[in-house]
Amino acid sequence: MILARISLSRVSASRSFRVAMLALAVTAYPIGAQASAKAQAKPNPLKIPNSQIEPLAWHQIDGWMHDHHAEAFATFLASCKAILRSSAKIRASRPAAYNALYEVCGRAVAAVPLDDTGARAFFEKNFRAVRLSPLGEQAGFFTGYYEPIVEGARLPSDVYTVPLYRRPPNMVTQRLRMSGKKGKAGKRAVKRTAPFYDRAQIEDGALAGRELEIVYLKDPIDGFFAEIQGSTRVRLEDGSVIRLNYASGNGHPYTAVGKFLVERNIVSKEEMSMQKIREYMEANPEEGKNLRRENKSYVFFRETDLSEYEEAIGAQGLPLTASRSIAVDRKLHTYGMPFFIDATLPFQSTKPDTRFQRLTIAQDTGGAIIGPARADIYLGAGEEAARAAGRFKHFGQFVMLVPNELDPGNIAQSVPLPLPKPNAGDKSIKLADQVPDEIAVSTAKTTKPAVTAAAVPLPKARPAKRNPGKPAS
């Protein structure tokens, strides 16, 4: 489920512009509208703060020719359908990148169906590849995430005691209020209210008796990791499964609790992983409780109508695709943008053992995903996905596919000069300093040779979807 057909030979700001034709349907995008819109579009160089961009030729992207592009194209089409449903009013409020994707998506829908060769040709014709990295650095940073499967019950009992809450209807975390005073620029000052209850207050019963409980779990650790992942599958006592997705946060910033274990010399940076955090919490219940409360952020869920075997829904409002969907910094990137990732990742063991060279699509985001070349790779659901995701904390190449409508020929002119390249020793120190507090890894791991295809097991067949309440179409 984590890797579908990965092998060495095949591995599966803001200025809007006018569009001539407004009434566009997902199933029919007039060719005349494309030509007219393209003629009126104004060049928009790509600008991403605190980043450096290096234009690349397609043959310079290691692994590009061997990816399973038809799979990536299918995931891209899912994002396109959401983008093409947007109204002219919505598009006018969105950044240039969104409008550029709107144009490309129209052509994508008109091009189906495409095989691997056709899909690769489509991406190469409609996009320009640029290597993206933090200013002064040479690589992007990747982690993984998954959808937990946990046991629960609709009603509390001596066994099921940990509630997962829906969003309180009266919750206000960032209400904007206009004051009577004006600032230096002549604009009214904005004030914000304080965040909602923090984790400790909620766990101590601040929401009890308000009928906000969706389900009860056995283990508070399961609830904590479900919040971090943003969704969960809960298997009830009768065997049925309910699906919960992120609804809202409580307004407090996310804090990576692993850094406290590192600071206390309980776990080293090199060994830090989600599994290490879980092991500590299980072995030290009271200390584990206090550790969780270091993260004041709390997530509220909503129950969805997804069947047991459908994939989780990402922030773009679409089902995610394992190993093809990624979470990115929403403040810097646009949902639907393609990114090619080249990194050696620890799928099978604690050491990097699998070359991951795949075209992925930005379809999700997360509180800990911050930076221009930062991505969280969605790996699916279950224990296997959980083990692999918990080990991901590695550097690699992050290549952004920029729509031609953004005038990629001028991209290099808008890119600041990178900092002087450090020597080999300094580079390792610099990259290690860039790692989030919760995790750290030696950059030497990213240079290990790729393993052979034989080391990567084939995925298990996905069970047929079961949704008795909905007739087959």
Question: Residue 352's CB: how many other CB atoms inside 10 A?
Answer: 25
Q: Give 237's DSSP letter.
A: T
Q: Is the pLDDT of residue 181 over 70?
A: no
Q: What is the pLDDT of residues 46-56, one digit of tens each?
A: 678 889 999 99
Dist. CA 334–CA 361, nearest whole Å: 10
Q: Is the Cβ–Cβ distance between 320 and 314 less than 8 Å?
A: yes
CA-based end-to-end distance of the chain: 25
pLDDT band of residue 193 (cuts 50, 70, 90) is low
Question: Residue 388's CB: how many other CB atoms inside 10 A?
Answer: 22
Q: What is the pLDDT of residues 38-80, one digit of tens each?
A: 444 444 456 788 899 999 999 999 999 999 999 999 999 999 9
Average pLDDT, the chain: 79
Closest CA to 272 of 438, 445, 146: 438
Question: Which pLDDT score, from 0 to 100, does residue 177 have?
Answer: 47
Long-range contacts (CB closer than 8 Å, 24 or more residues apart) made by 87-91: 88/19, 88/22, 91/16, 91/19
Q: Is the pLDDT of residue 108 over 80?
A: yes
Q: Is the pLDDT of residue 463 over 50?
A: no
What is the chain's percent helix, strand, coil content, to nearest 5?
30, 25, 45
Task: Give the mean pLDDT of 207-219.
Answer: 95
Question: Which pLDDT score, from 0 to 100, does residue 273 have?
Answer: 87
Task: Give the mean pLDDT of 338-346.
Answer: 96
Q: Is the pLDDT of residue 102 over 80?
A: yes
Question: Which pLDDT score, from 0 to 100, does residue 342 have?
Answer: 98
CATH 1.10.3720.10 assigned to 159-304: no
Dist. CA 208–CA 402, nearest whole Å: 49
Question: Which pLDDT score, from 0 to 100, does residue 2 have?
Answer: 47
Question: Which pLDDT score, from 0 to 100, does residue 350 have?
Answer: 82
Q: Is the pLDDT of residue 125 over 50?
A: yes
Alpha-helical regions (H) of 204-246: 220-229
Q: Is the Cβ–Cβ distance between 108 and 29 less than 8 Å?
A: no
Question: Which pLDDT score, from 0 to 100, does residue 18 have?
Answer: 32
Dist. CA 426–CA 441, nearest whole Å: 15
CATH 3.30.420.40 assigned to 31-144+311-455: no
Domain ranges of the chain: 31-144+311-455, 159-304
Q: Is the pLDDT of residue 467 over 60?
A: no
Q: Is the pLDDT of residue 131 over 50?
A: yes
The number of residues making up the chain comes to: 473
Question: Which pLDDT score, from 0 to 100, does residue 410 have?
Answer: 55
